[in-house]
Structure 1
């Protein structure tokens, strides 16, 4: 009786080809990640907030204001006319206190309290109703060395006190002869910038007509000092 041998193809590892095919097509197990609704909601909220911020920024940049500008040089004390001023539409920072174009008529006819330059924006602090040099007054230019210039900026209209000091090397009799008139009231009309090299600042001071010559003599003798007066003039 003959025996029939059933052969099975095997690999060198001893596995059948059917086993290899079965193992090859077995799909891997994939664990699905759970989506968290809270994270999705937060992401959407951040996106919406960012879009709103960009929109607000664009609106602010696009917002422009009509303001009054200076179109030509204006000296201190000069009366402002329509030829001196113009208007412009600018993106204005809230910290800038510029005169709005609707208030142009309110500054016309006033005087420049400071020197105005073309292309600058006009602010209310740069104009005044007061006459800087009144009838019966004289203007005396006073040169101040760097150590004599007050740390507080000198502005037009500021009240000052002009003090006479004895000249270096003066005798007691000479100092006593000057004791009758030692101070003069004055008011700043204009102050220049520091001169290059020397640092000297020239201040135009308005005094009474009777005190003008005396003040000029003090300046010539280098015996004058400028003192800032209190806000109420005392």
Structure 2
């Protein structure tokens, strides 16, 4: 009996697990205070100030807008401008851009387009003219130029040209005077030049000439014996 009592009194021999030992309170980790850097703070303030100044300049530029005249549908060269061709828009206009102001729209209505006007573009004073592209007594001669005959300089309305007769090799020039060695030529003025035709690259140029020279120039074109030569600008 004494041995049985001794075994019962011994906790290790009972087979019952001992309760876990309760841990004490855990101290929080020490966090060292970050060292302030005056240079970083100054740089941050400078960046904030620069950003604010940039926004102010942008807002000022956006607010400084000008009402100008725009083209709202395509206009061919020589066509008279109407109110239906023009519109108005408020834009931030660069001082270098010469555009017609909105309050000047009436001054351009009724004038002719000196160049081809495209929808969505701003209207410039130099793009319109009060003069007719065809003068009284003139005739219009259409001339087809092959790619190798098209000048590298863009052909613009009003540009002065010479229509030179270049007969085929071995064929005499019936229009040339005996005492002149050079080929015969006719003075003309560009009224309109088309874009190069797809595939062939041919450019059609409408040239205004005098009524007397028109039929002769047309005959040269028909015989493929005409070349177009640009005159030097008058201000040179």
- TM-score category, normalised to shorter length: 0.7 to 0.9
Q: Distance in 1 between matches of 2:120 and 2:44?
A: 48
TM-score (norm 1): 0.76
What's the CA shift string for 1:2-53, capped at 9, x where partnerless?
xxxxxxxxxxxxxxxxxxxxxxx9x9896973x4534422321121101211
Q: CA deviation at 1:126?
A: 1.2
Q: Could you tell me which residue of structure 2 aligns to residue 179 of structure 1?
A: 176
Which stretches in structure 1 are left out of the alignment for 5+ residues?
1-24
Q: Could you tell me which residue of structure 1 aligns to residue 161 of structure 2?
A: 160
Q: CA deviation at 1:85?
A: 1.9
Q: Could you tell me which residue of structure 2 aligns to residue 230 of structure 1?
A: 232
Q: For residues 64-213 of structure 1, what are the structure 2 equivalents within 5 Å? A: 64-92=65-93, 96-167=97-168, 169-171=169-171, 174-175=172-173, 177-180=174-177, 182-213=184-215
What's the CA shift string for 1:150-183, capped at 9, x where partnerless?
111111111111111121x324xx13x3323711
Q: CA deviation at 1:65?
A: 2.6
- SS of the residue aligned with 1:83? helix
Q: Which runs of 4+ in 1 moved over 6 A?
A: none
Q: Could you tell me which residue of structure 1 aligns to residue 19 of structure 2?
A: none
Q: Distance in 2 between matches of 1:102 and 1:159?
A: 34
- Over 3 Å counting, the alpha-carbon distance change for 1:50 and 1:227 in structure 2 is same
What's the CA shift string for 1:44-79, capped at 9, x where partnerless?
112110121123224434544311122344332223
Aligned-residue RMSD, C-alpha: 2.8
**Are the equivalent residues in 2 in contact too, given 1:159–1:233 (CA < 8 A)?**
no
TM-score (norm 2): 0.76
- Over 3 Å counting, the alpha-carbon distance change for 1:29 and 1:105 in structure 2 is closer
- Over 3 Å counting, the alpha-carbon distance change for 1:137 and 1:50 in structure 2 is same
Aligned length: 206
Q: Distance in 2 between matches of 1:31 and 1:75?
A: 76
Which stretches in structure 2 are left out of the alignment for 5+ residues?
1-26, 178-182
- SS of the residue aligned with 2:84? coil
- SS of the residue aligned with 1:69? strand
Q: Distance in 2 between matches of 1:31 and 1:84?
A: 72
Q: Could you tell me which residue of structure 2 aligns to residue 220 of structure 1?
A: 222
